[in-house]
Amino acid sequence: MLVISSPSVRGYVPAGLRALRAFSLGLLAVPCYAQAVSSADVGRPASVSRPDVQDEAIRPFTFHASDEALRDLRRRIAATKWPSPELVSDASQGVQLATTRELARYWEKDYDWRKVETRLNALPQFITTIDGVDIHFIHVRSKNPNALPVIITHGWPGSIIEQLKIIDPLTNPTAHGGKASDAFDVVIPSLPGHGFSGKPTDLGWNPVRVAHAWIVLMNRLGYTRYVAQGGDWGNAVTEQMALIAPPGLLGIHTNMPGAVPPDIAQALLADDQPPNLSADERPAYDQLKFFYDNGLGYAQEMSHRSQTLYAMDDSPVGLAAWLLDHDARSYELIARAFAGQEEGLTRDDILDNITLYWLTNTAVSASRLYWETAHNVPTRQIAFFAPTGVQIPVAVSAYPDELYTAPRSWTEQAYPKLIHYNRMAKGGHFAAWEQPQSFSEELRESFRSLR
């Protein structure tokens, strides 16, 4: 609990906001230790026991939810104990009751999990054990023998559901306006504790350790040349892969870059906007300020008390509301979908992702990634928004409704080997999910020079 000595509410609010920004910047924008991450053991607790021989088998995987599990889900939705409505006309108090009721109505009465289950099971899915945890991944090889392998990492509150729409445009580009020479082999893993991957039973599964696991995965698949992509936690993992710089990693692409300069981070902490911001930098500063001031409640809770979130694994509607309340622009998009104005994401898209969390019982285990980042010594220095010192080629797609739209000026400073930068016309935090066509085109363009 934050205790601030102040004689008045007027004094309490600015002090509280300063404290919140300090926490926010500590988690999301502290300069990283950059290329110091090189040891195979960084990010792993010393006490973890490792067997001398590890099972490296790659096992086919499919999933079929039981009819009883789906009936239980609908029963629990129907039995929801609803709170009183918010007292404001906007979303400033959180996910609105009307949106949540409509989501619950559709989820209980009309939604069909079997549709996405069939789509998933039509894809080549596998499980392999890495560092003691079963890692689930989708692996779709292009028919083009010269396809470039790419490993794409989701974030929170997302999952592999985010990337389903980009698989065919990347592996079969000629069917989607691209050239055969732009083809990719696509690897989409589920983060540990998320989806169909195993739930770690030891500490230390932070972005550094995940990055090491992804390198093992690509080597295990036989790839000696590949690229990586990520946003949100996917960016944290992808940038850590770039800092480790395994010989086979040619470059990375991100739609949520770590590009906020140190002086901007300090200005945000002091709540003192610099006077010399350019026309592109000023809106980015305002986006960051809004997020730090209004958008970090979920991150604080999961970073410090992730185990407390029992309700998410017990109440489908509680889970849905928690997953919806990530960022303002994404929530607006989702709320419009349940008001009958689908654009980018459909009601089924949204419920496919939420239902995956529910059926795999991974709401709490997924949230521990925040706790690991806040409490593990190496990952206390991992930043979402601060430059990390990546020295390999980097491509950036800056979306207008992302948490912040990284200006070219900041991006060029952050990535000395920037090979592609583009300000996108439309899209937000879940770029591949919302805008699969433009996202796929960006990946083709970004990595063309590295083939």
Query: Is the peptide bond between 247 and the residue preceding it cis, with omega within 30 degrees of 0?
Result: no
Instruction: Confirm whether 136 is a catalytic residue.
Output: no
Rounded Cα gap, residues 217 and 230, in angstroms: 16
- Which residue, among 17, 64, 52, 13, has the nearest Cα to 359 in the 3D structure? 64
Please count the other Cβ atoms lying within 10 Å of the Cβ belonging to residue 198.
18
Q: Yes or no: say if 48 and 101 are a contact pair by the CB < 8 Å rule.
A: no
- Our measurement of the distance from residue 313's CA atom to the centroid of its chain's CA atoms, rounded to an integer in Å, reads 20
- Our measurement of the distance from residue 412's CA atom to the centroid of its chain's CA atoms, rounded to an integer in Å, reads 23
Among residues 182, 232, 327, 349, the one annotated as catalytic is: 232
Give the pair of three-digit tokens for residue 207: 């972005």
Which residues make Cβ contacts (< 8 Å) with residue 71, sequence separation at least 6? none
Q: Yes or no: say if 358 and 319 are a contact pair by the CB < 8 Å rule.
A: yes
Rounded Cα gap, residues 323 and 334, in angstroms: 11
438, amino acid identity: S
Rounded Cα gap, residues 340 and 131, in angstroms: 45
Q: Yes or no: say if 257 and 179 are a contact pair by the CB < 8 Å rule.
A: no
Instruction: Confirm whether 429 is a catalytic residue.
Output: yes
> Which secondary structure element, helix H or strand E, spans residue 342, and what is its range?
none
Please, what sign has the CA dihedral across residues 232, 233, 236, 241? negative
In 195-316, which ranges are E strands?
226-230, 249-254
- Which residue, among 331, 333, 355, has the nearest Cα to 344 in the 3D structure? 333
Among residues 111, 285, 298, 370, the one annotated as catalytic is: 370
Rounded Cα gap, residues 331 and 344, in angstroms: 12
Q: Yes or no: say if 395 and 448 are a contact pair by the CB < 8 Å rule.
A: no
- Which residue, among 74, 1, 133, has the nearest Cα to 317 in the 3D structure? 74
Positions annotated as catalytic residues are: 232, 370, 429
